[in-house]
Amino acid sequence: MAVGIDKLGFYTPSLALDLVELAKARGDEPDKYTIGIGQSVQTVVPNYEDVVTMGVNAAKEILTEDDLAKIEMLIFATESGIDNSKSAAVFAQELLGLSPFIRTIEMKQACYAGTYGLMQAKDFVTLHPDKKVLVIAGDIARYGLKTPGEVTQGAGAIAMVVSADPAIATINDDSVYMSRDVADFWRPVDSTTALVDGHLSTDVYKEMFLTLWQRYQEQTGHELADFAGFAFHLPYTKMGKKALDQIMDQADNQQQAFLREQLTASQVYNRQVGNLYTGSVYLALLSLLQQGQLTDGQRLGVFSYGSGAEAELFSLELVPGFDKAVAGQDVLAQLAQRQNVSVAEYEAIFQSQLFDSSKNQESDAPDGTGLCQFVGWQDGQRRYRFS
């Protein structure tokens, strides 16, 4: 039975920072950011957004009454969760109006957890084909002002409905995966920003992709020519190129040119948003599905990497009519509608986050947006609303 991604929704907050302006403010060459790293704009997170609001807003884009009735599990993948005990999934269940008779859980392993959630969802639906699973992968990538990671910040969430007979893509049973204890990126529980050995992280990412590509080929017999494109985890868009370049010599010139075009298509949205950690690889997938040259039945590779480190490589097969199934959301329009902020405004917003639960504080949530918002702290509890 075919099980896979039936729906794919995306949400990112409404503020944006031009990275040419950030480069000038930091005394860097703009080309380093836009070409060397491959990022043009990053989403800026106002203090009324968090992983719950972003995940709920992404899921609201795609859920129908039928989905609400059939979803029996909500998996929330995040590494920037809002509570050390209670899962973001429980907040999201209530806000989305899902049934009380479902399983809810939060998962963490850096940027990888969304893929674990997707595989769990696939296994569950394979056993229960009349049920659906909602997988949300959302994060705020926050490194700190004036750090090397600052240019790769970003935020957003992806929501995926996994079902039998999916409308977008079947998840093939061909995953290869690996885990190894590496200190390339981490965030201690008392820190609101990530710690990172950026160059080591890039090297481990590349090495794990190459190792898993070789293992994938050994186990499946597939070659590069069998793929119509790849969705890579994109902490910054250049990372996908660094990974793919390692295996490009396995393709002829025509196939190489085609794969490069498809890679560019997969980078369009991430280049405008920045890193959204767990959701990044699935934003790259959405970008490839909407901006790439694809036809029914083609095979796509998905490479998921989470620092620390864990990685997985698997393939998807495009279902007839997938293009119509992903056409509903105009991501480029959504990104264009964001309000640009200056570097000074971004720095003020960065410092305005409400991390202190001991004070009753209200966020700057505006009225009338129709979106889910974090309203603030009350007696140590987080409060949400639809404005």
Q: Helix, strand, or coil here: 252?
A: coil
Residue 237 engages ligand HMG in binding (rule: CB under 6 A):
no
* 275 is an annotated ligand-binding site residue: yes
Give, as ranges, the residues between 334 and 373 that touch ligand HMG (CB under 6 A): none
Contacts of 234 (CB under 8 A, 6+ apart): 240, 266, 267, 270, 275, 280, 281, 283, 284
- To 10 degrees, what angle do helices 51-60 and 88-96 make? 40
Contacts of 254 (CB under 8 A, 6+ apart): none
Give, as ranges, the residues between 22 and 81 that touch ligand HMG (CB under 6 A): 29, 31-32, 35-37, 79
Count the residues of the shown chain that bind ligand HMG, applying the rule CB under 6 A: 30
Q: CA–CA separation, 191 vs 189, rounded Å? A: 6
CA distances from residue 153 to 107, 179, 226, 227, 374 in whole angstroms, order as listed? 21, 25, 34, 30, 21
Residue 305 engages ligand HMG in binding (rule: CB under 6 A):
yes
* 108 is an annotated ligand-binding site residue: no
Residue among 62 and 88 whose Cβ is closer to ligand HMG:
88
Q: CA–CA separation, 154 vs 43, rounded Å? A: 5
Residue 307 engages ligand HMG in binding (rule: CB under 6 A):
yes
Contact of 37 with 236, CB cutoff 8 Å: yes
Contact of 135 with 55, CB cutoff 8 Å: no
Q: Pick the piece of the chain touching ligand HMG (CB under 6 A) from 130-138, 191-199, 296-304, 342-350.
A: 191-199
Among 196, 243, 244, 285, binds ligand HMG (CB under 6 A): 196
Among 116, 205, 269, 384, binds ligand HMG (CB under 6 A): 205
Among 192, 199, 257, 352, binds ligand HMG (CB under 6 A): 199
Give, as ranges, the residues between 103 and 142 that touch ligand HMG (CB under 6 A): 110-111
Stated as kind and residue range, the H or E segment containing 123 is: helix 113-127
The CB-of-145 to ligand HMG minimum distance in angstroms stands at 14
Contact of 331 with 286, CB cutoff 8 Å: yes
Whether 128 is catalytic = no
The active-site residue out of 111, 150, 310, 312 is 111
Among 138, 166, 235, 274, binds ligand HMG (CB under 6 A): 235
Residue 306 engages ligand HMG in binding (rule: CB under 6 A):
yes
Stated as kind and residue range, the H or E segment containing 381 is: strand 381-386
Whether 94 is catalytic = no
* 282 is an annotated ligand-binding site residue: no
Query: Token pair for residue 206?
Result: 């590349």
Percent of residues in the chain assigned helix, strand, coil, to nearest 5:
40, 25, 35
Among 14, 40, 202, 220, binds ligand HMG (CB under 6 A): 202
Give bridge partners of residue 154 from the DSSP assignment.
141
Q: Pick the piece of the chain touching ligand HMG (CB under 6 A) from 125-133, 301-309, 328-336, 350-358.
A: 301-309
The CB-of-99 to ligand HMG minimum distance in angstroms stands at 31
Whether 233 is catalytic = yes
Q: CA–CA separation, 6 vs 221, rounded Å? A: 27
Query: Token pair for residue 242?
Result: 């660094």
The active-site residue out of 72, 79, 310, 312 is 79
Among 148, 320, 328, 366, binds ligand HMG (CB under 6 A): 148
- Among 192, 185, 5, 8, residue whose Cα is nearest residue 109: 185
Among 47, 152, 175, 373, binds ligand HMG (CB under 6 A): 152
CA distances from residue 79 to 64, 83, 84, 138, 205 in whole angstroms, order as listed? 28, 11, 11, 8, 18
The active-site residue out of 233, 310, 312, 372 is 233
Among 149, 154, 166, 240, binds ligand HMG (CB under 6 A): 149
Annotated binding residues for (3S)-3-hydroxy-3-methylglutaryl-CoA, written as ranges, equal 143, 242, 275
Task: Please state the residue numbers annotated as binding site.
Answer: 143, 242, 275
Residues that bind ligand HMG (CB under 6 A): 29, 31-32, 35-37, 79, 110-111, 148-149, 151-152, 185, 196, 198-199, 201-202, 205, 233, 235-236, 238-239, 275, 277, 305-307
* Active-site amino acid positions: 79, 111, 233
